Structure 1
Amino acid sequence: MRQLLVFHEREDAEEVAETLGEWFPALGVPQVVREALAGEDDAEDAQWLVVLEGVAEESLAKVDELAERYEGWREQG
């Protein structure tokens, strides 16, 4: 199942993606994408997403802890 990790800062998303690539080398480094908030015209208000696929259910708590360290959160995509 696909998981989306949401961050306010690009640097945070990139660091988390690199860490996840190290933790789960078989999955490779997750993609980092930018998502503008609905109704927002200002590029400053964009969120950064780490798209993570193929992580086992039992590993999601560890993923959540990492996201929270960078003031992010996980959503199912």
Structure 2
Amino acid sequence: MSDVRHVLVLPDRDAAQEAARALGERFETDEEPELVRDALAGEDDAEDAQWLVVLRDAESRLDAAELDAFAGEWDGWREEP
């Protein structure tokens, strides 16, 4: 079994929290996604931070294109591993 992780990059905390809640419903995930604040280089202001939603996909069952479209609903994107 591989340890695949998907990282969705979202513009703010609210979007990340909404997306994390919706992930479980839409993709029927068992594990709670991890939210991580990612400050942009050289910026200390929270307004200049992106938020990451990290989702473990141990069974490699999530489709990358579907996750791309999902992140786009919150003006975000999926990072390639």
Q: TM-score range by the shorter chain?
A: 0.7 to 0.9
The residue that corresponds to 1:70 in the other structure is 74
Provide structure 1 residue ranges, at least 5 long, that are not aligned to the other structure: none
Identity %, equivalent residues: 49
Runs of 4+ in structure 1 displaced over 3 angstroms?
A: none
Secondary structure of 1:25's aligned partner: coil
Q: How many residue pairs align between the two structures? A: 76
How far did 1:58 drift? 5.5
More helix by share: 1
2:41 maps to 1:41:
no
2:24 maps to 1:21:
yes
Q: TM-score, normalised by structure 2?
A: 0.79
Cα distance in 2 between the residues matched to 1:3 and 1:52 = 5
RMSD: 1.8
How far did 1:57 drift? 5.9
In structure 2, do the counterparts of structure 1 residues 35 and 58 end up closer, same or farther at CA, with 3 Å as the change threshold?
closer
Provide structure 2 residue ranges, at least 5 long, that are not aligned to the other structure: none
